[in-house]
């Protein structure tokens, strides 16, 4: 019996997957809305999670996700296929994040003055959730004091647990630059978290 006959028909081969991916990229470059829809379905969770971590506010994060996918067909000319599409989407989010981060930080400052913070959804042990929420909000407020570059480095490396090499690839800067940014950002964050007396 021929080996090819034993190959399962239900799973696409690596070549098929690659050609499918290439076709999707071509459709995105052509500005096909359906292709954007497919990419959204595949990657929106990762982009949204990153956006929430970076911006620190659910509504602003949704706006950022919207901007990323609307801009996708236009910026596809910069995509060379060297990194996964998800990494490229995160890079777009970083480029689009500046005014969303600024707006969210402004709202947080206003909310703080009314002692009212937007709640990030958690489920599980109420006591543990409360502590987590408190820590997450303290970190988000501390991130507001950083520059966008430092903030991005912390979110990518400390919150999303990416390596400095991955972060460098996403941001498009040398790895050493990411490490330097992390060093200074962590120093400031430690000081900020100790200052607010997080237990």
Applying CB under 8 A, the residues found at the interface with other proteins are: 31, 33, 36-37, 40-41, 44-46, 48-49, 52-53, 58, 62, 65-66, 69-70, 73, 120-122, 131-133, 135-136, 138-140, 142, 154, 158-161, 186, 189-190, 193-194, 198
Name the H helices within 3-145.
Answer: 3-6, 14-29, 33-55, 58-75, 85-96, 98-113, 126-143
Instruction: Give whichever of 107 and 186 is closer to other proteins, judged by the CB atom.
Output: 186
Task: State the minimum distance, in angstroms, from the CB of residue 122 to other proteins.
Answer: 5
The two three-digit tokens of residue 124, written as one number: 């599980």
Instruction: Give whichever of 127 and 194 is closer to other proteins, judged by the CB atom.
Output: 194
Those residues whose C-beta lies under 8 Å from the C-beta of residue 64, and which sit 6 or more positions away, are 51, 54, 55, 93, 96, 97, 100
Buried b (16+ CB within 10 A) or exposed e, 98-133: eebbeebbeebeeeeeeeeeeeeeeeeeeeeeeeee
Question: 154, 140 in Cβ contact below 8 A?
Answer: no
Query: Which DSSP letter does residue 116 get?
Result: -
Task: State the minimum distance, in angstroms, from the CB of residue 2 to other proteins.
Answer: 36
Task: State the minimum distance, in angstroms, from the CB of residue 149 to other proteins.
Answer: 18
Burial class (CB in 10 A: 0-12, 13-18, 19+), 54: buried
Instruction: Give whichever of 148 and 159 is closer to other proteins, judged by the CB atom.
Output: 159
Question: 146, 97 in Cβ contact below 8 A?
Answer: no
């Amino acid at each position: 019996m021929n080996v090819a006959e034993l190959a399962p028909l239900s799973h696409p081969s690596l070549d098929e997957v690659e050609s499918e991916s290439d076709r999707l990229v071509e459709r995105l470059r052509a500005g096909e809305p359906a292709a954007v829809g497919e990419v959204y379905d595949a990657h929106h969770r990762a982009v949204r999670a990153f956006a929430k971590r970076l911006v620190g506010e659910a509504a602003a994060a949704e706006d950022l996700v919207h901007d990323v996918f609307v801009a996708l067909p236009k910026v596809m000319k910069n995509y060379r296929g060297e990194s996964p599409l998800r990494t490229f989407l995160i890079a777009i989010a970083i480029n689009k994040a500046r005014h969303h981060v600024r707006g969210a930080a402004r709202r947080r400052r206003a909310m703080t003055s009314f002692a009212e913070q937007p709640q990030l959804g958690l489920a599980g042990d109420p006591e543990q959730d409360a502590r987590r929420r408190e820590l997450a909000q303290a970190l988000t407020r501390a991130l507001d004091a950083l520059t966008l570059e430092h903030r991005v480095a912390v979110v990518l490396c400390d919150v999303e647990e990416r390596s400095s090499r991955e972060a460098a690839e996403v941001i498009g800067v040398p790895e050493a630059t990411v490490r330097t940014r992390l060093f200074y950002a962590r120093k400031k964050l430690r000081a900020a978290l100790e200052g607010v007396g997080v237990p």
